Amino acid sequence: MFKTECSNVKTTTELDKLRIKYLGRKGLIPYYIKKFQSLVLIERKYFCKKINVVKNKIYTLINIKKIFLEDLYTQKKKNTPYIDISLPGRRSDIGAIHPITGMLYYIESIFCQLGFQIIYNGFEVEDQYHNFDALNIPVFHPARNMQDTFWFNANDLLRTQTSNMQIHALEKKKLPIKIIMPGKVYRKDYDQTHSPMFHQIEGLIIDKDISFSNLKWIIKNFLSIFFEKKMTFRFRASYFPFTVLSAEVDIMNHSNSWLEVLGCGMVHPNILKQFDIDTTIYSGLAFGMGIERMIMLYYGVNDLRAFLKNDLKFLQQFKQGRYY
């Protein structure tokens, strides 16, 4: 009976139904095996042996039929004349690295070429000492105001700059230091060029015989590699509580006007003295920049908020961008 039914099967779907009919949990073979449970031991052994022989033959016939049907299907498909092999393939639209992340990788790769070590996993929730006090920022500085900083309580806040990582690095007192520290920072700003959450990358060198000339060389080489051409730039005197001398760096854009790109300076001696670093032997330089600011300059985008709206039409323009 099974041989007849098996020979009449035309597809693998029909074959699977036939397998279930005979070998499935509620099929004929399991049904008879249950029936034999009521027999005495000698009879049960005899009939179970017979039924297992039948069961194995059914398995063999099903496997032979399955191989035959699969070969038949493959041969039929192979001989089908209307397959157009010139049609383009169906390609899945895969995702890509976000342009801000890609730009961060690019900047990190440049500073790695200049000999810097990358320090990750900074403290985004920080205390007042590491974010302000240890950086020589006075108590009356506007950055401490409630309208500028996200405070949790009188002591804890979301960090306002990655400069706090300078203090954590100095606390370890492993000199010399030559590091960059990327990360998220938070301030109460939101307009075309500001966001409540944005990314900074901070650089710090503490070593013997470090001067402003070293800082100028680093900035010059970074900007030339970043923009892939020799840049016209200038250092403009500025003020930062944690550096002296302090400067902001401007570049000349295509319309012959100056654009600010980053801030920098020589590490303030007061900061080094806090950690018992001899300022007659060691000196340091520091610099910091906003990643979003750099990506806006690189691609000529005039509204920072466009990168944060998850607009795929906008973001897909950068799929072939800088992914280092």
Q: Whole-number mean pLDDT of the chain?
A: 83
Q: What is the 3-state secondary structure (H, E, C) of the chain?
A: CHHHHHHCCCCHHHHHHHHHHHHCCCCHHHHHHHHHHHCCHHHHHHHHHHHHHHHHHHHHHHHHHHHHHHHHHHHHHHCCCCCCCCCCCCCCCCCCCCHHHHHHHHHHHHHHHCCCEECCCCCCEEEHHHHCHHHCCCCCCHHHCCCCCCECCCCEEECCCCCHHHHHHHHCCCCCEEEEEEEEEECCCCECCECCEEEEEEEEEEEECCCHHHHHHHHHHHHHHHHCCCCCEEEEECCECCEEEEEEEEEECCCCCEEEEEEEEEECHHHHHHCCCCCCCEEEEEEEEEHHHHHHHHHCCCCHHHHHCCCHHHHHHHCCCCCC
8-19 pLDDT, tens per residue?
777 778 778 877
Percent of the chain at pLDDT exceeding 90 = 30
157-182 pLDDT, tens per residue?
999 889 888 888 888 878 899 999 99
Contacts of 237 (CB under 8 A, 6+ apart): 245, 246, 247
180-200 pLDDT, tens per residue?
999 999 988 777 767 888 899
Q: pLDDT-derived band of residue 77, with 50, 70 and 90 as boundaries? A: low
**Which residue has better confidence, 37 or 323?**
37
What per-residue confidence (pLDDT) applies to 59? 78
- 300: left (phi > 0), else alpha (psi -120 to 50), else beta? left
C-beta of residue 286 within 8 angstroms of C-beta of residue 200: no
What per-residue confidence (pLDDT) applies to 2? 67
Residues spanned by CATH 3.30.930.10 within the chain?
Answer: 99-318
Give bridge partners of residue 184 from the DSSP assignment. 199
Evaluate if residue 103 carries a pLDDT over 80: yes
Q: pLDDT-derived band of residue 324, with 50, 70 and 90 as boundaries? A: very low
Evaluate if residue 320 carries a pLDDT over 70: no
200-227 pLDDT, tens per residue?
999 999 999 999 999 999 999 999 999 8
What per-residue confidence (pLDDT) applies to 93? 72
Average pLDDT over residues 287-302: 87
Exposure string for 157-172, b = 16+ CB within 10 A, e = fewer? bbbbbbbbbbbebbee
What's 99-318's CATH class?
Answer: alpha beta
Percent of the chain at pLDDT exceeding 70 = 93
pTM exceeds cut of 0.75? no
Cis peptide before 245 (omega within 30 of 0): yes
Average pLDDT over residues 58-85: 74
